[in-house]
Amino acid sequence: MIEELTNKNFRSVIGQPNRSVLVKYYHPKCAACRPAGQAFRDSAQAFSGRRDQLAFCAMDVSANACPAGIYVPGTPYIQLYIRGDTRRRTYLGELDSNEINRFIEAEIGLTTSDSAAANLVANAGVNAVANAAAPST
């Protein structure tokens, strides 16, 4: 789920101390915003099991003036606000969900639901092999 940001709710949404927020700034007539929007939706879906730790939000810059201190040089533009901190990290990678996911993991150490499940399975396999190889007493 992607929450729409406005001038009225912007500060309260990004200011949450226990949750990071990834914001996509867009313009409805921006041609590059369409594929970026799909990649953003795909990433939001991949992190859907982490909604308590990471929110995905979008802000239409044609309908909302950017809040004071926020500069959007063009659209699409993606920034990560980490757990209520007003300092932000700007995403400069490809408009691809896998790249966005890697950016999130690098910045806040959060993996997708799929990655977390795969890691649990892989670790369970490693532990099972280690336990089988251990000498019995």
Each residue of 12-53: pLDDT tens digit? 999 999 999 999 999 999 998 988 999 999 999 999 999 999
What element of type H or E holds 60?
A: strand 54-60
Model-wide pTM > 0.85: no
- pLDDT, the chain, mean: 86
Domain 2-133: assigned CATH number: 3.40.30.10
For range 91-103, the mean pLDDT: 95
What element of type H or E holds 20?
A: strand 20-26
Give per-residue pLDDT as tens, 53-67.
999 999 999 999 988
What dihedral do alpha carbons 46, 3, 65, 32 form, nearest 10°? Answer: 40
Q: Is 14 exposed, middle or buried (0-12, 13-18, 19+ CB in 10 A)?
A: buried
- The rounded percent of the chain whose pLDDT value lies above 90 is 69
